[in-house]
């Protein structure tokens, strides 16, 4: 298991700053090596003259996606230790369109402009000044754009869940589409500007096959289950692998991060809820549960808890049969949350690392309102 700065809440530490600077160094180096220190080359994709942006960007995306998918499948890195950006449809559609216009107009995006400035491009400096001005403009008009900023917010959403397909199937389809794009890009370059030197090259052939093989190999590790027939076996598989659980630490981290896509439901009797509950939970007894959760079906993450695990597990299975794919139960229930997240370090049998102790202290402040 790899612990990340985000996972232990240390993204604002000096260590994280140093790591970010080094990572940024490699990022800038390879951006410039790829030719992204040139606005003319970057803008080329929009005129089908130079498709380098497509090749570099999708290769980078696939490399990281496949690498991370394997590491996650092997259990070396957990989703809870990664910072996941929420999906906000309105903001991302409008933001994407306006950003695209700015990109083709300026010939830069923020990261490449920083690399371009380093390569001596004065237009990159001008673009960066514009981007700073644009950020200030956004701040000044935030009251006006705030509704758009949160329009269509769905919390953390994975595209395969949104589309209702198994992850491994989506990964393979996405990889295959990208490989087809690479070959089309080479073909277009050869037709329009006489380049496209990797078209039918042994390099691109081998590279394409490697990507497809890696994407296919993932399906051997993550078995695909979908459709009506798959629901029951899917429930069984999730129960068997513990995928229907959310660990208390992950829940605490997501609550701390203010994850808007998280719906935390306390299914104990209302009297117990009033006596004590996890900050941010809503009280909902079992009979009214399905009606209450309907708007959240397959949107964001629903976490159910009780004192133990029996009732939430039964509710979760029932909801899964009704087509809910985003319902999780809290491992060891409220008792587990208290024992694992809120119990002071001093009262524990096993010693905690300083990072863990700091995390527990932060959780106690947040959830116990000390």
Partner 1 sequence: MDIPRISKRRPYMNPYVAGIMLGVTLLASFLTLGAGLGASGGLARVAAYLESRIAPAHTAATVYFGKWGPQPLRYYLVFMLGGIFLGGAISAISSRRFSLRVERGHACAAPRRIFFAFAGGVLAGWASRLAQGCTSGQALTGGALLLTGSLVFMACVFAGGYAAARFVRSQWYD
Footprint of partner 1 on residues 264-283 (CB under 8 A)? Answer: none
Host H or E run for residue 263: strand 262-266
Task: Select from 7-15, 271-279, 333-341, 345-353 the region that touches partner 1 (CB under 8 A).
Answer: 7-15
Nearer to partner 1, 14 or 271 (CB): 14
User: Considering only residues 130-169, where is the footprint of partner 1 by CB under 8 A?
Assistant: 130-140, 142-143, 145-146, 148-149, 154, 156-160, 162, 167
Using alpha carbons, select from 310, 304, 307 the residue that is nearest to residue 330: 304
- Strands of 262-266's sheet, edge to edge? 245-246, 327-330, 301-305, 262-266, 282-283
Least Å distance, CB 199 to partner 1, is: 13
# binding residues, partner 1 (CB under 8 A): 131
Task: Tell which one of 73, 81, 183, 324 touches partner 1 (CB under 8 A).
Answer: 81
User: Considering only residues 28-67, where is the footprint of partner 1 by CB under 8 A?
Assistant: 28-35, 37-40, 43, 45-47, 52, 55-65, 67
Host H or E run for residue 330: strand 327-330
Least Å distance, CB 119 to partner 1, is: 4
User: Considering only residues 164-223, where is the footprint of partner 1 by CB under 8 A?
Assistant: 167, 170-171, 174, 182, 198, 203-204, 207
Spatial neighbors of 140 by CB under 8 A, at least 6 apart, are none
Using alpha carbons, select from 306, 296, 307 the residue that is nearest to residue 263: 296
Least Å distance, CB 305 to partner 1, is: 25
Distance separating alpha carbons of residues 279 and 275, to the nearest angstrom: 12
CB of 43 closer than 8 Å to CB of 104: yes
Q: Does 85 bind partner 1 (CB under 8 A)?
A: yes
Nearer to partner 1, 128 or 286 (CB): 128
Tokens of 65: 């996606």
């Amino acid at each position: 298991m790899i612990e990340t700065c985000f996972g232990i809440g240390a993204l604002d530490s000096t260590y994280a700053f140093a790591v970010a600077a080094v990572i940024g160094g490699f990022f800038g180096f390879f951006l410039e090596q790829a030719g992204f220190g040139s606005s003319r080359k970057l803008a080329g994709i929009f005129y089908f003259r130079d498709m380098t942006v497509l090749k570099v960007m999708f290769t980078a995306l696939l490399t990281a996606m496949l690498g991370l998918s394997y590491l996650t499948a092997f259990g070396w890195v957990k989703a809870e230790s990664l910072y996941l950006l929420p999906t906000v449809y309105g903001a991302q559609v409008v933001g994407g369109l306006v950003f695209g216009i700015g990109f083709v107009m300026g010939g830069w995006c923020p990261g490449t402009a920083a690399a371009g400035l380093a390569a001596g491009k004065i237009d990159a400096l001008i673009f960066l000044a514009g981007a700073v001005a644009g950020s200030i403009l956004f701040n000044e008009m935030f009251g006006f754009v705030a509704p758009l900023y949160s329009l269509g917010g769905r919390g953390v959403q994975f595209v395969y869940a949104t589309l209702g397909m198994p992850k491994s199937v989506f990964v393979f389809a996405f990889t295959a589409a990208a490989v087809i794009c690479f070959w089309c890009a080479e073909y277009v370059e050869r037709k329009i500007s006489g380049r496209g030197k990797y078209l039918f090259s042994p390099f691109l052939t081998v590279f394409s096959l490697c990507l497809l093989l890696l994407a296919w190999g993932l399906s051997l590790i993550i078995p695909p289950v979908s459709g009506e027939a798959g629901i029951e076996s899917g429930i069984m598989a999730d129960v068997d692998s513990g995928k229907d659980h959310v660990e208390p630490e992950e829940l605490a981290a997501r609550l701390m991060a203010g994850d808007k896509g998280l719906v935390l439901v306390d299914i104990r009797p209302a009297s117990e809820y009033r006596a004590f509950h996890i900050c941010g939970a809503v009280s909902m007894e079992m009979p009214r549960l399905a009606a209450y959760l309907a708007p959240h079906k397959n949107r964001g993450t629903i976490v159910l808890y009780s004192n133990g695990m029996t009732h939430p597990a039964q509710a979760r299975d029932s909801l899964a049969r009704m087509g809910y794919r985003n319902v999780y139960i809290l491992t060891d229930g409220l008792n587990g949350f208290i024992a694992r997240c809120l119990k002071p370090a001093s009262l524990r049998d096993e010693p905690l690392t300083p990072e863990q102790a700091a995390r527990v202290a932060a959780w106690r402040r947040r959830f116990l309102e000390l």
